[in-house]
């Protein structure tokens, strides 16, 4: 099952979640009507029968119940609009500076960065649950641009590097599969179901302290009875909520475990983490009061369930056996000494080193790559990524000069990285471009940019865009005004010579796209379109790609026809030379962003056919394809070296 199939499945699961939620609401409304009826029967002289005959009274009770549930869900979802950061901080998470010197935190950041490059996702914010000694983690957010990964202090101190890498790979799989978006929506919906129990608890508490408003005959009795009834009804909601989470979450955990093994090529990593959860006294238990609300997001169950069918995760022993069929319970590990798990991790680099560096070719300046490498990277099986994907990602990080990595990880230095990457390929107007940096961002930032330029020029072009995504976690921490100034600077640098290279367009477009994703709170999904509704945008994007990658109009027309006939077989449009290629791209990408996921997969295959029609895929074509994919919310890992032409 590839990325697009997983995304479609996640959307089907979301629709299933909504149907289950509506069914739960219906049951709760019926139970509340029954509870209120019993209360009124007990405390009104006229008895229950008269009220029972009144459809209006029951309608009022139903409407109030629906308003409470709907209002509580709306409130919670509005609080979660900022994405994963809100969930992580709500659980007591502390943000981790990507440039941290702490060995355990440095190791965590390195592992997350490796997974970001391997999966083609922008680096998420990283949090540590400092007060949690159990081994656990979760990923939260609506989309990769607002994602957060949180890890418990117990996981940092108890897990080896390989085991931590297995846990992080598991969480990244949830991001790739679209599970993360559904999880955060589930939090909002199920919060409304729990609201009735909160009201019942409040009435039960207050009923014993003051005279009941409804009943003048029994001091506090009415409040007690109604509160107890609503509390019981509320627990029906709790049980229904757990059943919904269990029904949606359980199978996904097996799939994420399998994908983590495929990513890391090391079953002992995630397997060892699960064995430690089973063997250590703290297990995966969390102390946070909100652990019930996020239980479906966690790497392992953060609490105990007295009925197994209510558990959001399969039993740990079953998950271990799925990874290691020869597992025996007596093999459970009993942990490592706290504080030693990350000893020896380098400050700037991953501790992992490949004995045979597959990125050694980066010392040369090859400017063509195999077309198959791009389509395979995008259309890979999410449950079984290529065997060396993580190894190559780690090796790619070693090929990035230390000063550039430091700038990508530094909140204070990340704004200088983007101008430096831009200027690294600039030759004609370097002096004017540097003057523009000084006038827009100041002399201090100019000195930072000049300091990064020598290393930026040494960076292989294939790593420029992946490095910009690596810097995204730090960029999210930059204040809004500085981000606005950065975008203003990048636009001004482009306008100086009145023309835009493919790389300049890709770098600036990706920067703007990621920032727009940050600002697009709430994960609002627009209506999905089919290919027929996006015909004009498809013509624009194929025309630009054919024109950029082929030396003559005849070759460009052939390439255009070869690709677009795959996506519009019944209505093949004519080719036209793009007169404003950057404008065509900017107009087409927002339209294609709302294509349905199946069509996006077919679109990318067709685009690769157009780009590689002349038998090669140039660096510019690869960067343009990567940018198109990012704007379509399709992650693209770096091209693998062994697939290089």
Dist. CA 548–CA 628, nearest whole Å: 14
Nearest Cα to Cα of residue 251 among 180, 359, 196, 179: 179
Element (H, E) at 248: helix 221-264
Whether residue 13 contacts residue 248, with contact meaning beta carbons closer than 8 Å, is answered with yes
The one-character DSSP state at 446 is H
Catalytic residue (one of 113, 114, 132, 171)? 171
Q: Is residue 171 annotated as a catalytic residue, yes or no?
A: yes
Whether residue 174 contacts residue 256, with contact meaning beta carbons closer than 8 Å, is answered with yes
Whether residue 25 contacts residue 196, with contact meaning beta carbons closer than 8 Å, is answered with no
Nearest Cα to Cα of residue 377 among 110, 7, 644: 644
Name the E strands within 77-179.
93-95, 125-129, 137-140, 148-152
Dist. CA 580–CA 69, nearest whole Å: 51
Whether residue 147 contacts residue 83, with contact meaning beta carbons closer than 8 Å, is answered with yes
Dist. CA 527–CA 242, nearest whole Å: 30
Dist. CA 466–CA 464, nearest whole Å: 6
Q: Which two tokens stand for residue 485?
A: 């100034």
Dist. CA 508–CA 631, nearest whole Å: 12
Specify whether the backbone of 335 is left (phi greater than 0), alpha (psi in -120 to 50) or beta. Answer: left
Q: Which two tokens stand for residue 39?
A: 């209360």
137-140 and 125-129 as β-strands: parallel, antiparallel, unpaired? unpaired
Please report how many Cα atoms fall inside a 13 Å half-sphere around the Cα of residue 644, on the Cβ side: 18
Specify whether the backbone of 217 is left (phi greater than 0), alpha (psi in -120 to 50) or beta. Answer: alpha
Which neighbouring-strand residues pair with 139? 149
Please report how many Cα atoms fall inside a 13 Å half-sphere around the Cα of residue 378, on the Cβ side: 26
Whether residue 410 contacts residue 99, with contact meaning beta carbons closer than 8 Å, is answered with yes
Is the four-CA dihedral 558, 560, 561, 567 of positive or negative sign? positive
Q: Which residues contact 576 (CB under 8 A, 6 or more apart)?
A: 539, 543
Q: What is the DSSP string of 392-435?
A: HHHHHHHHS-HHHHHHHH-TTTHHHHHHHHHHTT--SSHHHHHH
Helix segments in 424-530, DSSP class H: 430-441, 443-458, 464-470, 472-477, 480-496, 502-519
Dist. CA 349–CA 216, nearest whole Å: 73
SS3 at position 635: coil
Dist. CA 222–CA 214, nearest whole Å: 7
Q: 294: buried, middle or exposed (CB in 10 Å: 19+, 13-18, 0-12)?
A: buried
Which positions are annotated as active-site residues?
171
């Amino acid at each position: 099952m590839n990325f697009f199939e997983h995304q479609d499945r996640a959307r089907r699961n979301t629709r299933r979640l909504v149907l289950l939620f509506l069914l739960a609401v219906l049951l709760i409304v019926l139970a509340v009507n029954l509870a209120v009826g019993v209360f009124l029967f007990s405390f009104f002289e006229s008895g229950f029968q008269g009220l029972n005959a009144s459809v209006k009274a029951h309608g009022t009770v139903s409407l109030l119940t629906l308003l409470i549930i709907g209002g509580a869900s709306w409130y919670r979802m509005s609080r979660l609009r900022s994405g994963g950061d809100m969930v992580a901080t709500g659980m007591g998470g502390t943000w981790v500076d990507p440039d941290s010197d702490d060995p355990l935190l440095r190791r965590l950041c390195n592992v997350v960065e490796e997974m970001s490059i391997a999966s083609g996702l922008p680096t998420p914010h990283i949090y540590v649950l400092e007060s949690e000694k159990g081994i656990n983690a979760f990923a939260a957010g609506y989309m990769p641009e607002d994602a957060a990964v949180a890890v418990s202090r117990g996981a940092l101190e108890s897990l080896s590097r390989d085991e931590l890498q297995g846990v992080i790979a598991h969480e990244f799989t949830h991001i790739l599969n679209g599970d993360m978006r559904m999880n955060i929506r589930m939090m909002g919906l199920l919060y409304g179901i729990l609201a009735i129990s909160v009201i019942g608890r409040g009435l039960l508490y207050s009923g014993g302290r003051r005279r009941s408003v409804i009943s003048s005959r029994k001091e506090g009795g009415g409040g007690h009875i109604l509160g107890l009834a609503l509390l019981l009804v509320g627990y029906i909601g709790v049980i229904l909520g757990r059943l919904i989470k269990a029904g949606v979450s359980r199978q996904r955990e097996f799939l994420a475990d399998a994908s983590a093994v495929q990513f890391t090529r090391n079953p002992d990593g995630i397997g060892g983490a699960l064995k430690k959860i089973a063997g250590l006294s703290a297990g995966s238990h969390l102390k946070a009061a909100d652990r019930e609300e996020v239980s479906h997001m966690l790497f392992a169950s953060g609490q105990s369930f007295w009925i197994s069918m209510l558990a959001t995760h399969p039993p740990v022993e079953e998950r271990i056996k799925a990874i290691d069929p020869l597992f025996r319970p007596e093999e459970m590990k009993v942990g490592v000494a706290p504080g030693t798990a990350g000893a020896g991790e380098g400050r700037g680099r991953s501790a992992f080193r490949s004995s045979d560096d597959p990125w050694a070719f980066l010392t040369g300046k090859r400017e063509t790559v195999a077309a198959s490498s791009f389509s395979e990277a995008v259309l890979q099986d999410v449950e079984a990524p290529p065997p060396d994907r993580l190894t190559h990602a780690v090796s790619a990080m070693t090929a990035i000069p230390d000063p550039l990595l430091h700038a990508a990880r530094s909140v204070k230095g990340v704004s200088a990285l983007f101008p430096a990457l831009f200027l690294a390929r600039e030759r004609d107007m370097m002096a004017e471009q540097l003057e523009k940096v000084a006038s827009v961002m100041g002399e201090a930032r100019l000195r930072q940019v000049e300091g990064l330029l020598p290393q930026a020029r040494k960076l292989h072009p294939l790593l420029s865009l992946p490095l910009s995504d690596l810097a995204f976690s730090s960029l999210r921490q930059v204040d809004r005004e500085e981000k606005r100034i950065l975008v203003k600077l990048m636009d001004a640098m482009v306008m100086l010579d009145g023309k835009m290279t493919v790389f300049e367009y890709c770098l600036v477009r990706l920067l703007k796209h990621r920032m727009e994703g940050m600002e697009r709170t709430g994960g609002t999904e627009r209506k999905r379109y089919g290919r027929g509704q996006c015909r004009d945008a498809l013509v624009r994007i194929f025309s630009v790609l054919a024109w950029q990658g082929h030396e003559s109009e005849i070759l460009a027309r052939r390439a255009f026809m070869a690709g677009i006939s795959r996506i519009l077989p019944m209505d093949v449009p004519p080719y036209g030379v793009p007169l404003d290629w950057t404008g065509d791209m900017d107009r087409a990408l927002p339209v294609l962003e709302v294509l349905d996921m199946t069509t996006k997969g077919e679109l990318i295959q067709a685009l690769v056919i157009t780009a590689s029609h002349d038998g090669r895929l140039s660096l510019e074509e690869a960067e343009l394809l990567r940018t198109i994919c990012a704007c379509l919310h399709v992650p693209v890992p770096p091209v693998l070296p062994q697939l290089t032409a």
